[in-house]
Chains A and B, each alone.
Chain A
Amino acid sequence: MGSLILGVEAMAFLEKEGFPVLRSFLATSEDDAAGKAAEIGFPVTLKLSSPDVIHKTEADGIRVSLRDESEVRQGFRQIVGTFTTDQPEKRLDGVMVQAQGGGVEVIVGMATDEQFGPVLMFGLGGIFVEAMKDVSFRLIPMEACDAKDMMEELKGYQVLESPRSGSVDLPAVQRLLLGISEFITRHPEIREMDLNPVFVSSHGARICDARIMVL
């Protein structure tokens, strides 16, 4: 079935490949989390890290905008406590400590279709992808105009074009899409991937979380 690369490990892999990622560490203890947060600089985000959980929000596994060490310690205890109480059968790797991201949330993903082979997906994050399924697909490999076109195809494109807060670096999104297309072409062993969310602000796109399935 292949193996899954998650969270910190996936982010490190992507960073090594030259993709923009939010700075992230895996913390396995409260002290560890506090130390990593100080190293990154506040505010930070904490995220549950388990190979068995796709929707971290539903598992109450996310704390954002933690401003100091005590908030990080409290957040760590809450996440681990809730998870081990509610879902004792599931595996726990630890908690990801991450630089606070900002901007519009988008999702970039790839899947391998039986007939089409590798395909790339782009969508707006959060409820747009969950409830509205407002996503677009292109076959890999793509050209520059395809990346632009697949962004413009979204019903919610206006959210990207004129977001309520600040501007969005659309060329950075286009570069990311093309970069992923090229990356997948070089790594045919990658079967499935979610970069979710990716934060896009006026100064670039940052991958915030990733899961990768490798054959």
Chain B
Amino acid sequence: MNEKLVQVFSPDSVAVIGASNSFDKLGYHVMKSLAGNYHGMIFPINPKSDRIWGLASYPSLEAVPGDVHLAVIAVPARMVPDTLHACGRKGVRGVVLITAGFREIEDDGGRVLEEEIKEIAEHYGLPIIGPNTFGFVNLSSGVNASFTSEFSRIERGGVALISQSGGICHLCGFLAIEQRIGMSKLMSLGNRCNVDFPEVLTHLVEIDSSTRVIALYIEGLDEPRRLLDAAKSLRGRKPIIAYKAGKSEKGDSASRFHTGSLAGNHAIWKGALRQAGILEVTGTEELLDTAKAIDSCSLPGGTRMAVLSGQAGPGMIASDALEPAGLKLSHFSEATQRRINDLLPPIAIRTNPVDMGPAWYDPKNIIAILKAVIDDEHTDGIIFLAMYASANLNLAEGMVEYMRAADPFQKPVIACFTAPPGIWDEPIGALDRKKGVAIVPTPERAVQAMANLWKVSSLSNGRGVRTWDR
């Protein structure tokens, strides 16, 4: 399976079965995602057309002259079994089955049809992503095998999002574009015919070198232990975070046992994820911020944080957020404090949280303070907060200049750079995800992402693993 998945995710050639020139067909949108973007061979398949999206099309898969690595199928459900047989005969390495109308529908015919395609897949040893999926996007190899072409705009990075829901991929994918999150893969597993969480997880950890952190969105699984066992066996190799939906399920109220009445599905998930070394997050923002921070920053060696802020208020709310998140303000060493005191006049609070206000107009000083705090032996991570004001216009640009030559930070720096749209856009883009810096929208989210970085490092260390394979 793993060997085939390599060719499925990075195919040399893709056939689109059900490719179309009409906007109201999903095959149109799959072609839109591939054409002019994907560098391998594209074979549109449609018995009724000669050219689709400007490419020569084929009446059937058999008619395609060469090898087909990936087939994206967007034909009506009743035609899927025959289509899969054709894929099997052609020696296709794997399938993205976009078509819906299987076990997710109320009609029992859907379940029966899904059993049938499972058998066909098994007969040919054919990995099927889906059915009932929007597809996948492999940003590392430039393959958008989905019906949403705009996902190709996501920056290339180390976050793989594997979801049980296509809608969540759309929510997170577009937020990723907006918040400059770099992704390696974005995938909805749909009904999980035979490519399920454990298979993809193993692929991402063991083979996919572009993926540095794996984010899972889980609704419910028939055999959760398969995923948890896989995660456990891969523990400590790449960070895995999970957002589990469906928290309202309660324990067995009819149980005459305390344990039984408290053993709700989510309560068990919570413990089981932790046991498998997976960090549970409880919201979309937390999922994205945490994934971005893991992808961009070093992991902290402890919980002692420096808060550097250009204005007092944001520094104060960040400091307030530390303790509930399991972090604390660091006490700078004497040497560090002396360095800061040399850079800041005594009109500001120079101890942690540091009010950098008086240095605000001089990027060089701000950077020197940041450097002093990164060097501080009592500090494990830095929350850096910069709000735009007309007078500090040059701050962000000045930081970009300095950072260009700087070595990557050995400690995590999670930052907020807040400015009106259009003013700091370019420098923010140049600073974000570079040299160990991650930028998130608010101080509270910066602290939460930092806390999760610490949790990820402790979870992985649960088995004596000191460093991540990154």
Question: Could you tell me which A residues sit within 8 Å of B by CB distance?
Answer: 54, 107, 109-111, 113, 115-117, 119, 121, 123, 129, 133, 135-139, 142, 145-146, 149-150, 153, 192-194, 196, 211, 213
Expressed in whole angstroms, the minimum distance between the Cβ of A195 and any Cβ of chain B is 9
Which residues of the other chain, A, contact B262 by a CB distance below 8 angstroms?
Answer: 109, 121, 123, 129, 133, 135
A139/B225 in contact, CB under 8 A = yes
Expressed in whole angstroms, the minimum distance between the Cβ of A156 and any Cβ of chain B is 15
Expressed in whole angstroms, the minimum distance between the Cβ of B458 and any Cβ of chain A is 10
B257/A149 in contact, CB under 8 A = no
Which residues of the other chain, A, contact B265 by a CB distance below 8 angstroms?
Answer: 113, 115
| Residue of B259, B267, B463 contacting most chain A CB atoms (<10 Å) | B259
Q: Knowing that A113-B263, A192-B259 are A-B contacts, what are 14 other residue pairs whose CB atoms are under 8 Å apart, sorted by A's residue number?
A: A107-B258, A107-B259, A111-B255, A111-B263, A115-B222, A115-B224, A119-B272, A121-B262, A129-B258, A135-B267, A136-B270, A139-B275, A149-B275, A196-B258
A119/B268 in contact, CB under 8 A = yes
Question: CA A72 – CA B271 in complex, angstroms?
Answer: 43
Say if the beta carbon of B40 comes within 8 Å of chain A: no
Known contacts A111-B263, A116-B224, A149-B462; is-contact A138 B258 (Cβ 8 Å): no
A110/B274 in contact, CB under 8 A = no
Expressed in whole angstroms, the minimum distance between the Cβ of B465 and any Cβ of chain A is 12
Question: CA A115 – CA B222 in complex, angstroms?
Answer: 6
A211/B263 in contact, CB under 8 A = no
Q: What is the total of A-B residue contacts with beta carbons within 8 Å?
A: 83
Expressed in whole angstroms, the minimum distance between the Cβ of B247 and any Cβ of chain A is 13
A137/B272 in contact, CB under 8 A = yes
8 Å CB interface, B257-285 against A: 257-260, 262-263, 265, 267-268, 270-272, 274-275
Question: CA A66 – CA B64 in complex, angstroms?
Answer: 89
Say if the beta carbon of B107 comes within 8 Å of chain A: no
Expressed in whole angstroms, the minimum distance between the Cβ of B466 and any Cβ of chain A is 15
Which residues of the other chain, A, contact B462 by a CB distance below 8 angstroms?
Answer: 145, 149
Question: CA A90 – CA B216 in complex, angstroms?
Answer: 50
8 Å CB interface, B223-278 against A: 223-225, 228, 252, 255-260, 262-263, 265, 267-268, 270-272, 274-275
Which residues of the other chain, A, contact B256 by a CB distance below 8 angstroms?
Answer: 54, 211
Expressed in whole angstroms, the minimum distance between the Cβ of A182 and any Cβ of chain B is 16
Question: CA A41 – CA B190 in complex, angstroms?
Answer: 65
5 A-B pairs in the complex with CB atoms less than 8 angstroms apart: A115-B224, A137-B271, A145-B463, A149-B275, A193-B257
Question: CA A121 – CA B264 in complex, angstroms?
Answer: 11
Expressed in whole angstroms, the minimum distance between the Cβ of B94 and any Cβ of chain A is 28
Which residues of the other chain, A, contact B389 by a CB distance below 8 angstroms?
Answer: none
Say if the beta carbon of B221 comes within 8 Å of chain A: yes
Question: CA A109 – CA B228 in complex, angstroms?
Answer: 22
Which residues of the other chain, B, contact A139 by a CB distance below 8 angstroms?
Answer: 225, 228, 268, 271-272, 275
Question: CA A150 – CA B272 in complex, angstroms?
Answer: 10
Of chain A, the residue at the smallest CB distance from B271 is A137
Question: CA A138 – CA B228 in complex, angstroms?
Answer: 12
Which residues of the other chain, B, contact A110 by a CB distance below 8 angstroms?
Answer: 259
| Residue of A117, A139, A194, A196 contacting most chain B CB atoms (<10 Å) | A139
Known contacts A115-B222, A116-B224, A139-B228; is-contact A192 B255 (Cβ 8 Å): yes
6 closest A-B pairs by CB: A109-B259, A137-B271, A111-B263, A111-B260, A121-B259, A111-B259
A116/B275 in contact, CB under 8 A = no
B221/A136 in contact, CB under 8 A = no
Expressed in whole angstroms, the minimum distance between the Cβ of B283 and any Cβ of chain A is 20
Question: CA A109 – CA B462 in complex, angstroms?
Answer: 24
Question: CA A119 – CA B257 in complex, angstroms?
Answer: 13
Which residues of the other chain, A, contact B225 by a CB distance below 8 angstroms?
Answer: 116-117, 139
Known contacts A111-B255, A115-B224; is-contact A146 B260 (Cβ 8 Å): no
| Per-residue A-contact encoding for B442-470, CB less than 8 Å = 1, 0 else | 00000000000000000000110000000
8 Å CB interface, B210-224 against A: 221-224
Which residues of the other chain, B, contact A116 by a CB distance below 8 angstroms?
Answer: 224-225, 268, 272
Which residues of the other chain, A, contact B257 by a CB distance below 8 angstroms?
Answer: 54, 109, 111, 192-194, 211, 213
Which residues of the other chain, B, contact A111 by a CB distance below 8 angstroms?
Answer: 252, 255, 257, 259-260, 263
Known contacts A119-B263, A145-B462, A149-B274; is-contact A113 B258 (Cβ 8 Å): no
Question: CA A193 – CA B259 in complex, angstroms?
Answer: 7
